[in-house]
Chains A and B, each alone.
Chain A
Amino acid sequence: MTATFSLWHKHMRKFFRNPEAAFGMLLQPILWVVLFGVGMQAMLGRSGSVSLSAGGAGSYIGFMVPGIILFSALSGAVSGGATLLDERLRGIIKEYLVAPIPRYSILLANALSTVTKGLFQAGIILVLALFFGSRVALNPLGWLGGLLIVGLYGLGIAGLALAVAARVNSTLGYHGLIALDLPLLFASNALYPIDILPGWMQWVARFNPTTYAIDAMRWLVYGIRYEGQANIWLSSGIVVGFAVLGMLLAVRAFRGEIKQRGGAI
Chain B
Amino acid sequence: MLGKEDRKTVVVIGSSKLGAAIASYNSKKGIYTVIIDKDSDAFKKLDPNFSGFMITGNAEERYILEKAHIETSKECDIVTDNDNTNIFIACLLVKFYQIPYIYVRLHDTTKSILLPKEVKIISPYLLSMNLYQSLKEDEK
| A and B interact physically | no
Residues on A lying within 8 angstroms of B by beta carbon are none
Residues on B lying within 8 angstroms of A by beta carbon are none
